[in-house]
């Protein structure tokens, strides 16, 4: 067997992840302002859900404590799964400006590199933006925590997969810039869809009957609702493994689709000269 000279550039991707982390660490002011916003909204939404439970004991399988926990987990994880922010359009801007041409000439897998940087970013957000609002929420309201260490592990895994799915979706949305002149309109639509269907605005379990199951099976749900489900133990299909498997499936599918689309976009660039 011939010697394989091209070893996987693990070192490179580690460096990229660190860069992603440092980029966000450089703006502590923005982080503080952001988690203040998350905390404030957490309070508002928690009160709204408390009003829901004035007339019912259980809604969509959640009792009031679980619902409030849902709110604070959601606000905490929002920044980790990048529901908003520059990563929704960074790549698109480079495509529109033509800078993408230099990127594509480098011996770098654009998607893998992006994923590595996003992982760094997500880790930073997890440490500095996810924890504080959740802690505040836990102090002000009554929330529930898993008592099974395996569940914490599953939750951690679920968050990792959620970030992967989120990246895959954002990558795809950015790639539309290859074909659409005014991608901003489609960007707004993508963000609106994501915010509703990820469970950001209202728990997906609240959706009426069959619709809830459908929505929870969609990739958007894997971004936010899924890890929260694992945390609360209220999974789709009643099984943690099902949720994790579904997240993994979407991650693989969407990342694969992203690669295909990137190749198509690259071809278009080469043929048309941008």
Give residues in contact with another protein (CB under 8 A): 29-30, 33-34, 36-37, 40-41, 43-44, 47-48, 50-52, 54-56, 59-60, 182, 184-185, 188-189, 191-192, 195-196, 201-202, 206-208
Question: Is the CB of 16 or the CB of 228 nearer to another protein?
Answer: 228
Q: How far apart are CA 267 and CA 274, in angstroms?
A: 10
Token pair, residue 123, equals 């880790």
CA nearest to 209, candidates 60, 77, 75, 63: 60
Question: Is the CB of 37 or the CB of 266 nearer to another protein?
Answer: 37
Question: Is the CB of 185 or the CB of 274 nearer to another protein?
Answer: 185
Question: Is the CB of 54 or the CB of 148 nearer to another protein?
Answer: 54
Q: How far apart are CA 98 and CA 103, in angstroms?
A: 10
Q: Can you say whether residue 9 is alpha, beta or left, with left for phi > 0 and alpha for psi between -120 and 50 degrees?
A: beta
Question: Is the CB of 60 or the CB of 114 nearer to another protein?
Answer: 60
- Taking the complex as a whole, the smallest distance from the CB of residue 142 to another protein amounts, in Å, to 14
- Taking the complex as a whole, the smallest distance from the CB of residue 249 to another protein amounts, in Å, to 26
Q: Cα dist. 257→35, 109, 118 in Å?
A: 33, 15, 18
- Taking the complex as a whole, the smallest distance from the CB of residue 187 to another protein amounts, in Å, to 9
Question: Is the CB of 22 or the CB of 184 nearer to another protein?
Answer: 184
Q: Cα dist. 183→91, 100, 137, 165 in Å?
A: 12, 16, 37, 21
- Taking the complex as a whole, the smallest distance from the CB of residue 185 to another protein amounts, in Å, to 5
Tell me the HSE value of 201 on the side-chain side, using a 13 A CA sphere.
9
- Taking the complex as a whole, the smallest distance from the CB of residue 155 to another protein amounts, in Å, to 25
Residue 259 neighbours by CB distance under 10 Å: 16
- Taking the complex as a whole, the smallest distance from the CB of residue 136 to another protein amounts, in Å, to 13
- Taking the complex as a whole, the smallest distance from the CB of residue 1 to another protein amounts, in Å, to 55
DSSP-assigned beta bridge partners for residue 111: none
Q: How far apart are CA 209 and CA 216, in angstroms?
A: 11
Question: Is the CB of 193 or the CB of 266 nearer to another protein?
Answer: 193
CA nearest to 136, candidates 56, 271, 35: 35
């Amino acid at each position: 067997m011939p010697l394989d000279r091209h070893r996987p550039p693990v070192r490179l991707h580690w460096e990229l992840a660190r860069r992603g982390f440092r980029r966000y660490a450089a703006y502590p002011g923005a982080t503080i302002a952001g988690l203040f916003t998350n905390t404030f909204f957490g309070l508002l939404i928690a009160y709204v859900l408390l009003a829901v439970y004035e007339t019912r004991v259980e809604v969509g399988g959640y009792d009031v404590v679980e619902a409030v926990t849902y709110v604070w987990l959601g606000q905490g994880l929002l920044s980790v799964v990048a529901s908003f922010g520059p990563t929704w359009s960074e790549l698109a801007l480079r495509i529109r400006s033509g800078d993408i041409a230099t990127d594509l000439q480098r011996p770098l897998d654009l998607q893998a590199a992006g994923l590595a940087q996003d992982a760094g970013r997500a880790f930073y957000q997890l440490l500095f933006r996810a924890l504080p609002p959740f802690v505040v929420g836990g102090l002000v309201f009554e929330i529930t925590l898993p008592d099974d260490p395996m569940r914490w592990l599953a939750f951690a895994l679920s968050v990792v997969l959620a970030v992967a799915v989120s990246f895959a979706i954002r990558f795809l949305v950015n790639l539309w810039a290859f074909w659409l002149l005014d991608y901003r309109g489609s960007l707004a639509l993508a963000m609106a869809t994501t915010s509703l269907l990820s469970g950001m605005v209202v728990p997906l379990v609240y959706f009426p009957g069959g619709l809830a199951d459908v929505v929870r099976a969609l990739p958007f749900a894997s971004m936010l609702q899924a890890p929260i489900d694992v945390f609360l133990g209220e999974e789709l299909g009643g099984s943690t493994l099902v949720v994790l498997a579904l997240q993994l499936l979407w991650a693989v599918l969407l990342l694969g689709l992203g690669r295909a689309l990137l190749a198509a976009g690259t071809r278009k660039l080469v043929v048309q000269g941008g």
